[in-house]
Chains A and B, each alone.
Chain A
C-alpha cells in the first residue's frame, strides 16, 4: 500500500542552507579524523568462518594417503565442468597402495569453478573439500588450473580418524572381498 510522505516545511535554518551545510561539514570533518575502517587486504586477512566454501581442494587421510578413488562422481556432477579426472591404478607395491584406484591426474579449472560445493557433497570418500582458501589469482589461464599436486598442497591432511581403507584392506586380507 503506497502512502504519501508529508514533506515538512523547511525551518529557517534549513532555508538559509548555510547552517545545515556547516553542520554537515562538521560531520565529515569528524570522519576525516576518525581511524580508517577498511581492512587492507593483502597484509590483513579476514577471519574465515568455519564451513566456508572456498577453493575446492583434495585432502589426504592422517596416514598421508590420497582419499580420492577417481570415481569421477565429482567430475560428473560439476555444473560448469571444471573438474577433469584421469583415472589410474595404484601399483600394488606402492607405499600408499590400497584396494581402490587413485587418480592419475586431477585438474580443477578455477576459471570455471563456481564454488557450488556439489563435488564435496557428492564425494563418497570425503576426498574433495571446499576449504577456506578464497584468493586465487594468476597471470595466465594455465596458472588458474589447479593440478593434482597443487590441490593436495592446498588441501593438506584432514584429521579424520575414520580409516576406511585400513578396514577395507584388512577385510580383504581376511578373505572377505566385500567386507
Chain B
C-alpha cells in the first residue's frame, strides 16, 4: 500500500517537473462550430488548424517555441461561443484566437476580445464583422458584399440589367440578400423579383415559377448555402428556365456539382483559387500556396479541403507570420503586426491589411467560375 502511495507521489512530482519546460509554448485559441447545423464549416476548419499546428511544430514551432491549439466546439451556438471566448482569455490565457465559423458566433465573441485586447481572426463571411473596423478583430473570408459585386459586374458585362433573386432565410442568405440589394444600383441593375426559401425546404418550384413569370427577368441570383441552392438549381432545370443563373461562394465546392447534377451546367459563381487549384495557370501568384495546401490536406484526411477550410488556413498563416514579425507573444504586438500585413499570398487571395481594412482582400481574390460538363471553368 505504502509503495503505491510513494509511486503516485513520485509520478506526480515527475509530472510537475515535466510540465514546467512546456510553459514555453504559444497558446492559440479557437472556437469553431464543429458539430451542429454549421458543422460543414467548422469541421474542415478544425481539421486544417490541427494539421497546421502539427506541421509547424514538426518544423520547430514559431521562433523556436511550440504552438498549442486550445479548441472548443461551440456547435454554432452564440451563447456557448461567448462562454468559450471568456474561458479562452481568462483560463487558457491564449495570445490570439482563430474562429467563429458563423457570423452569429463571431459577433457574440467580439466584445470579449475587444475588452481583453486579444487579437481575433474570424472565419465568417458577413461584412459587419470588419465594418466598422474593430481594433482587435480581423477576418479572412471575402464578404458577401464582394460576392454581390463580383456577380453584378459579370451580369453587367453580359449586357443584362433585370435580375430575380432567391435567397435563403438563414443568416448567410439574409445578409447576402441585403448586401446585394444595397449594392445593385451601382451596376445599373434592377432586382425585379425577390423571393426566399426556408432552410429546410425541399421544393422551390413555386418561388422559381414566380420569378419566371415576372416580366423582364434576364438572370437569376441565388443567395444561400447548404442543400437549398442545390435544390433551387435542380428545380430550375425541371421548370426549363433558360436564363443565366448565378450562385454565391457559399456553394463553391465540388459537392454542389454532385448534388445539383446535370442541372448545374452553366451556373456561374464567384469562387476562390482553391476550387480550381488544378487548372490555375502557371505563374498565378496563388498557384503554389493553393496546390501545396490542397495536397497536404488530401494526404492527411483523404478528402478535398473546402473553401471554408481555406479560410482557416489563411487565418493561421497570417497569425504565424504576425507572431514571427512581432518577435514576441504579446497580444498587442501581434495585433499591430497583423494590421501591418501586406502582400501575403494565401489560398483565399492576397491580403493587404491596414488600420482601415481588417480583411485586406479585394475583388481580385474572387474568380468568376462556370460549371461546364460537371467541371469548373474560369470565366474571363
Q: Do A and B bind each other?
A: no
